[in-house]
């Protein structure tokens, strides 16, 4: 039997109807921010307090897009016999984002954890000179840096957290023991020490 | 023939001669060398020819200007000049998930002659540069350019290469620069929004006039900011270091 005329058109229109009734996957960007994965690399933030101006980031940057200026300040000696201390002070820290290729070498190489990835991506400019951002803007981006991702459930506890927890436990035990000593005075004085030693291990 | 440049600043001939340089292409001094249109780093995009606007557009009253700007910014037909990896992000931005047709930018113009917006995405090599300029010139006015990605902003990771044009704004004027390597598709959408804001505030008379009407040039970072004098060490004390007195005795 010869195919009915218009079959192709009907099939095509059926596809159109099916697609029209299906939900679209469009992410309405300006109204809704995208769901960025963790550790997204958007822009680089600087925590100035950690920076010692070692210049490793500027040296290792393959694009030479980090501009650092610093000067040395001399502080008088603390002890009478010691020499005067010199300290590096950061004057200027600028990253030229028109050149930056977002490789992250500066962040990896920084020994003092002064540079961080931030997922911000909305910083297009109309003038290329404005793409060189100074340390005030880099600090603003620090507030958008997400918290570090949680460790695996089976991993051992990080040392900083372990130290903080032990200190907190010790203080709690000391507080509990002080309360006990206050409640039952004089006769039970050895017991706070043995309780502390048991909890310390 | 005497081809020394007509300049009386007294720096010619010394080894430190390029310390005062803005360089080239400022317009012909009287009887001086022919301007070759060499790009001037202080004014990116200025190597392009002058544009002319008819008297009618100059006389359009403000409400009409608002309507015209509205029409122009929400109907940009885009000549996607995809050269390298950023083209993939551009294509992603044109597809279903981050659709830039929602913003009025229609992708895939048949050619430069039917396009309003040129999005240069990817590394512009010196071999491709004349083609970029030619296609830009084939676009009818009013036209806009978005430089998408680090390579077209300023050469990006290939800034040091012998074969790369360090930034497409050396050959064509750019309206918006989108940083990234490659930028997210949403970053391109934000760049388009920024361009639309720029067009909304645009006055065609200022854009095309060359004279008292012309828009004031954006303040540039002065070149002197890149050439500071040496900072004194800790022994010379803060006063000598901060005064900015040129310590280029070793230079000359």
Residue to substitute from B92, B104, B154, B164, interface A, most A β-carbons within 10 A: B154
The answer to whether residue A45 sits within a structural domain is yes
By Cβ distance, the residue of B44, B99, B177 closest to A125 is B177
The answer to whether residue A80 sits within a structural domain is yes
Kindly state whether residues A57 and A137 are assigned to the same domain.
yes
The answer to whether residue A154 sits within a structural domain is no
Kindly state whether residues A110 and A170 are assigned to the same domain.
no
The answer to whether residue A188 sits within a structural domain is yes
pLDDT at site A91: 92
pLDDT at site B32: 58
- Burial level of B60, CB count in 10 A (0-12/13-18/19+)? middle
Kindly state whether residues A44 and A84 are assigned to the same domain.
yes
Kindly state whether residues A138 and A163 are assigned to the same domain.
no
The answer to whether residue A131 sits within a structural domain is yes
Mean pLDDT across the stretch A38-58?
91
Among candidate residues A42, A70, A73, A62, the one with its CA nearest the CA of residue A135: A70
- Residue A64 belongs to domain with CATH number: 3.30.70.3270
The answer to whether residue A2 sits within a structural domain is no
Average pLDDT, chain A: 86
By Cβ distance, the residue of A26, A42, A72 closest to B96 is A26
Kindly state whether residues A173 and A74 are assigned to the same domain.
no
Shortest distance, CA B30 to any CA of chain A (angstroms): 32
pLDDT at site B215: 54
The answer to whether residue A27 sits within a structural domain is no
Kindly state whether residues A55 and A136 are assigned to the same domain.
yes
State both tokens at A181.
Answer: 């000593």
| Segment A81-139, tens digit of pLDDT | 888 888 899 999 999 999 999 999 999 999 998 999 999 999 999 988 889 999 999 99
Kindly state whether residues A98 and A58 are assigned to the same domain.
yes
- Name the phi and psi angles at A169, rounded to 5: -65, -40
Kindly state whether residues A128 and A39 are assigned to the same domain.
yes
- DSSP string spanning B170-223? GTS--SEEE--SSPPHHHHHHHHHHHHHHHHT--HHHHH--STTSPPPPPPPPG
- Tell me which chain B residue has its CA closest to the CA of residue A131: B179
The answer to whether residue A13 sits within a structural domain is no
- Establish whether this prediction's ipTM goes over 0.90: no
Kindly state whether residues A118 and A48 are assigned to the same domain.
yes
Question: Cβ contact (<8 Å) for B191 and A127?
Answer: no
- Burial level of B128, CB count in 10 A (0-12/13-18/19+)? middle
pLDDT at site B63: 78
pLDDT at site A78: 82
- Tell me which chain B residue has its CA closest to the CA of residue A75: B234
Q: For residues A64 and A61, what is the distance between their CA atoms, to the nearest angstrom? A: 5
pLDDT at site B176: 95
Q: The domain containing residue A164 runs over which residues?
A: 159-200
Among candidate residues A179, A176, A181, A173, the one with its CA nearest the CA of residue A199: A173
The position carrying tokens 């201390």 is A85
Cross-strand partners of B121: B82, B148
| Segment A109-122, tens digit of pLDDT | 999 989 999 999 99
Among candidate residues B68, B53, B43, B52, the one with its CA nearest the CA of residue B199: B68
| Segment A157-199, tens digit of pLDDT | 777 778 888 888 998 999 999 999 998 876 555 544 444 444 4
Whether A29 contacts chain B with CB within 8 A: yes
pLDDT in 10s for each residue of chain B, 252 residues: 444 444 444 444 444 334 333 444 444 445 555 555 566 666 665 555 545 555 555 555 677 888 889 999 999 999 988 999 999 999 999 998 999 999 999 988 999 999 999 999 999 999 999 999 999 999 998 899 999 999 999 999 999 999 999 999 999 999 999 999 999 999 999 999 999 999 988 877 777 666 555 555 555 566 666 666 666 666 655 544 444 444 444 443
pLDDT at site A148: 77
pLDDT at site B29: 46
Shortest distance, CA A33 to any CA of chain B (angstroms): 9
Residue to substitute from A22, A23, A99, interface B, most B β-carbons within 10 A: A99
Helical packing angle, B185-200 and B62-73, nearest 10°: 160
pLDDT at site A70: 93
pLDDT at site B80: 82
Q: For residues B207 and B51, what is the distance between their CA atoms, to the nearest angstrom? A: 9
- DSSP string spanning chain A? -PPPTTHHHHHHHHHHHHHHHSPP----TTTS---PPTT---EEEE-GGG-----HHHHH-TT--EEEEEEEEEE--SSSSSPPEEEEEEEEEEEETTT-----HHHHH-TT--EEEE------BSSGGGGEE-HHHHHHHHTTPPPPPPPPTTSPPPHHHHHHHHHHHHHHHHHHHHHHHHHSTTTTTHHHHHHHHHHH-
pLDDT at site A105: 96
Contact list in B for residue A29 (CB cut-off 8 A) is: 98, 186, 189-190
Torsion region of B206: left, alpha or beta (phi above 0 gives left; psi -120 to 50 gives alpha):
alpha
Cross-strand partners of B177: A125, B147
Kindly state whether residues A62 and A127 are assigned to the same domain.
yes
Q: How many domains does chain A have?
A: 2
State chain B's maximal CA–CA distance in angstroms.
68
Kindly state whether residues A82 and A114 are assigned to the same domain.
yes
Residue to substitute from A23, A26, A29, A31, interface B, most B β-carbons within 10 A: A29
SS3 of residue B3 by DSSP: coil
Whether A32 contacts chain B with CB within 8 A: no
Q: For residues A115 and A50, what is the distance between their CA atoms, to the nearest angstrom? A: 9
Kindly state whether residues A47 and A132 are assigned to the same domain.
yes
By Cβ distance, the residue of B177, B187, B198 closest to A128 is B177
Among candidate residues A111, A138, A113, the one with its CA nearest the CA of residue A54: A111
């Amino acid at each position: 039997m010869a195919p009915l005329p218009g079959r192709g058109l009907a099939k095509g229109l059926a596809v159109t109807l099916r697609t029209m009734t299906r939900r679209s996957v469009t992410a309405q960007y300006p109204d809704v921010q995208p769901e960025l994965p963790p550790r997204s690399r958007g822009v680089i933030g600087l925590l100035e307090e950690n920076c010692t101006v070692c210049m490793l980031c500027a040296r290792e940057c393959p694009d030479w897009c980090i501009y650092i200026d610093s000067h040395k300040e001399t502080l008088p000696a603390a002890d009478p016999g010691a020499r005067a201390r010199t300290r590096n002070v950061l004057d200027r820290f600028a990253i030229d984002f028109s050149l930056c290729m977002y490789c992250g070498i500066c962040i990896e190489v920084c020994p003092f954890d002064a540079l961080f990835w931030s997922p911000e991506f909305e910083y297009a400019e109309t003038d290329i000179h404005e793409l060189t951002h100074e340390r005030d803007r880099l600090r603003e981006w620090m507030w958008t840096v997400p918290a570090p991702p949680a460790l695996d459930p089976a991993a051992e506890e990080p040392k900083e957290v372990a130290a903080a927890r032990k200190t907190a436990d010790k203080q709690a035990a000391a507080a509990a023991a002080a309360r006990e000593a206050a409640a039952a005075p004089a006769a039970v004085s050895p017991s706070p020490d043995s309780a502390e030693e048991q909890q310390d291990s | 023939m005497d081809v020394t440049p007509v300049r009386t600043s007294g720096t010619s001939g010394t080894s430190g001669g390029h310390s005062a340089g803005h360089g080239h292409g400022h317009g012909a001094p009287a009887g001086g060398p022919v301007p070759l249109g060499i790009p001037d780093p202080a004014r990116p995009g200025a190597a392009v020819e002058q544009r002319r606007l008819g008297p009618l557009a100059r006389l359009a009253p403000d409400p009409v200007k608002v309507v015209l700007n509205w029409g122009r910014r929400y109907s940009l037909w885009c000549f996607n000049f995809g050269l390298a990896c950023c083209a993939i992000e551009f294509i992603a931005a044109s597809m279903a998930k981050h659709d830039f047709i929602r913003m009025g930018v229609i992708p895939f113009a048949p050619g430069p002659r039917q396009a309003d917006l040129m999005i240069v995405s990817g590394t512009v090599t010196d071999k491709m540069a004349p083609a970029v300029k030619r296609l830009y010139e084939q676009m009818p006015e009013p036209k806009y350019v978005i430089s998408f990605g680090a390579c077209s902003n300023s050469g990006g990771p290939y800034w040091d290469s012998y074969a790369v044009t360090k930034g497409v704004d050396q050959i064509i004027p750019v309206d918006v620069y989108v940083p990234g390597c490659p930028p997210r598709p949403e970053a391109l959408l934000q760049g388009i929004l920024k361009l639309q804001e720029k067009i909304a505030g645009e006055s065609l008379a200022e854009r095309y006039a060359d004279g008292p009407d012309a828009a004031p040039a954006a303040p540039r970072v002065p070149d002197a900011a890149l050439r500071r004098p040496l900072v004194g060490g800790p022994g010379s004390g803060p006063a000598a270091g901060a005064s900015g007195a040129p310590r280029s005795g070793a230079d000359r």
